[in-house]
Structure 1
Amino acid sequence: MLESIKNKLSDTLKSPMLNQPANANVNMPERIISLVIGALITYQGVKQIIKHPAIALQEAVIGGYLLYRGATGVCPIYSSLGKDSTDTPAISIYERIIVDKPREEVFSFWRKLENLPRFMKHLASVEEQSETLSHWKANLPGEILKLSWNAEITREEENSYIGWQSVEGSMIDNAGKVEFKDALNGMGTELLIEISYFPPAGSLGQGIAKLLNNLFEDMIRKDITNFKHYVEGEEYQTFINSSSFVEKMQNTFKKATD
C-alpha cells in the first residue's frame, strides 16, 4: 500500500493539476512536502484503524489537512495569520576547501557534472544532455521522495570557474558556482563553493519543516566537505585511472597548450 501511495504522489507531482493558483499562500516545495507527509500520516492512520481507532481518526484529520494544503496550495492557518510562504528564502551555502590535487585535474573532474553524485549524496544522478544543459535528480532527507530539475551552465572559465542554475519552470530552484585557484603554498587547489536551493521543506510549521530544512542543509555541507576526502582518497584514484577520465584530462591539457 505504501508503494501505491508513493506512485500516486509521483503521478500527482507530474500532473498539470499541481499548478500555483492565484490565491495560493503555500509555495510549491512546501506543497510537495505537505502531500508526501500527509499521505504517510494518512497511511499510518489507516493501519491503526482497528486496534487504535481514536489515534487513527486523529492521524486521518492531520493527514487530510496536509493533503488539502498540498493539493490546493492554500493553508487556512496561514490565511488567518496573514502569512504567505510563496517567497521562501533559499538555503545558501558558502564553503572554502583546499585539496591536494592540481587545479586542472580538479576542474576537469567537477566540470563533468555527472561526477558530482560520486561525492554529493543529496544527488541521485546528474545526466549531461549537452555542453551546457543537464538533468539533475535529488533525494530529500530520508529518501521520502525524489525530485528532478534541468539546469544549465551559465558561465565557464577553463580551469577557473563554473556557474550553473536551474532553468525556468523547474520544480526546484537551484544555483551554484565554484571558483578554482592555485593554493597559496603552490600545492593543491583552493575551491570557493557556493550552492543555493529553495528548500524542499519550505516552512511547514516550526517542527517538521525545520527538521527537514536543517537535514537538507547539513547534507549539502557534508557533501561539499566530503569532496576533499573523496578526491584525496583511493576511490578517486581508481576512477581517474579509468580510460574515460584520462582521455578527458589529455584533451584538457591539449587545449591549454594549443
Structure 2
Amino acid sequence: MATLTASISGHSMADTAHINLKWPERYVSVIAGVKMGFSGLVHIFSSPVTSLFKLGTSGYLLSRGLTGHCELYEKVGKTSTEPVSIAIRTSVTIDKPREELYTFWRRLENLPLFMNHLKSVEMLDNGSSRWSLKLPVDIAALSWDAEITHDEPGELIAWSSVPGANLQTTGKVRFIDTPEPGVTLIHVVIMYHPPAGLIGATLAHLINPMFKKMVEDDIQNFKRYMDLSNSLPIAS
C-alpha cells in the first residue's frame, strides 16, 4: 500500500493539471482494477471473451486510479476535483417598491406562478417548505424539503434544501432600491448540486445550460408578472 501511495502521489505532483478524481475514488479504482484483472487472468482460458473484457476494464481502472484522471469525467466537463455544481445568477429591475416584491416572494407558494420549472411549493411552517421541480416535457417531478436560512424583511430572502434532501439546492434573492422611486433591482442566485460521481458530473454538464435558461426566463416572467399586476395575488 505504501508503494501504491508513493506511485499515485508522484504522478499527482507531475501532472496535477489533469487530475479530476479525489483520493477515495482513485483508491477504489485501483483496488477494483486489480481484482478485475486477477479475475480476467484466472479465467483467460475458460472464458476468453469475458476475460479480455475484464482485462481491458482493469487497465482502464488502474490507469484512472494511478493518474487521477478520468477521460469520461473530462468529456462531460469535470476537469478538477472540485464538486460539480450549477450556479445561476441573474438580475432584473421591476417597477414596484421592494417591500411589495419581498412580500410576494416571501409567500413561497407564489413562486410557481412565474417559475415554470417549479411544479409547486408548499409551506410546511413559517420557515420550512416542500418544493417540487418539474423536469422538461413533464417526464418526472422531483421533490425536496427546504428551509429559510436568512430573512431580512424587505431586503433579502435566502433558502436551502435540508440535509439529505433528494436535491441539494440553495438560493438567495436580494431587493435593492434604485435611484428611480418605486423601481427595484433584484439579484437572484440559485445553485443546484447534482449527485457525486460520473452520473452527477454528466447531469451537471447536460442540465447546466438548461437550468440557466430556465431560471433567467423565470426571473423575466417575475418582472412581467409584477409589471402587469395591479395587486399582489395571495396564494391559497
Taking the TM superposition and a 5 Å limit, the aligned residue runs for 1:90-169 are 90-169=85-164
Q: Following the alignment from structure 2 to structure 1, what is the Cα–Cα distance between the partners of residues 206 and 176?
A: 35
Q: Deviations over 1:31-58 (max 9, x none)?
A: xxxxxxxxxxxxxxxxxxxxxxxxxxxx
What TM-score, normalized by structure 2, do the two folds share? 0.61
In the alignment, is the contact (CA less than 8 A) between 2:84 and 2:201 conserved in 1? Answer: no
Any idea what SS the aligned residue of 1:232 has? helix
In the alignment, is the contact (CA less than 8 A) between 2:85 and 2:191 conserved in 1? Answer: yes
Q: Deviations over 1:192-248 (max 9, x none)?
A: 1111112487333xxx86443322221112112221111112xx33x62x5x47xxx
Taking only the aligned residue pairs, the percentage that are identical comes to: 40
Which is further off, 104-113 or 210-219? 210-219
Give 2:201's match in structure 1, choosing from 196, 200, 203: 203
Deviation at residue 77 of structure 1 after TM alignment: 11
In the alignment, is the contact (CA less than 8 A) between 2:86 and 2:204 conserved in 1? Answer: no
Counterpart of 1:222 in structure 2 is 217
Q: Deviations over 1:59-86 (max 9, x none)?
A: xxxxxxxxxxxxxxxx999956454779
Q: Which sections of structure 2, spanning at least 5 residues, go unmatched? A: 1-23, 27-56
Name the amino acid aligned to 1:150: D
Q: Following the alignment from structure 1 to structure 2, what is the Cα–Cα distance between the partners of residues 221 and 77?
A: 44
In the alignment, is the contact (CA less than 8 A) between 1:199 and 1:213 conserved in 2? Answer: no
**Number of residue pairs the alignment of both structures matches:** 166
Name the amino acid aligned to 1:112: R
Q: Which structure: larger Rg?
A: 2
In the alignment, is the contact (CA less than 8 A) between 2:169 and 2:191 conserved in 1? Answer: yes
What TM-score, normalized by structure 1, do the two folds share? 0.56
Q: Which sections of structure 1, spanning at least 5 residues, go unmatched? A: 1-22, 26-74, 246-258
Is 1:190 aligned to 2:185, yes or no? yes
Counterpart of 1:252 in structure 2 is none
Name the amino acid aligned to 1:124: K
Q: Following the alignment from structure 2 to structure 1, what is the Cα–Cα distance between the partners of residues 193 and 97?
A: 33
Deviation at residue 87 of structure 1 after TM alignment: 6.5
In the alignment, is the contact (CA less than 8 A) between 1:202 and 1:213 conserved in 2? Answer: no
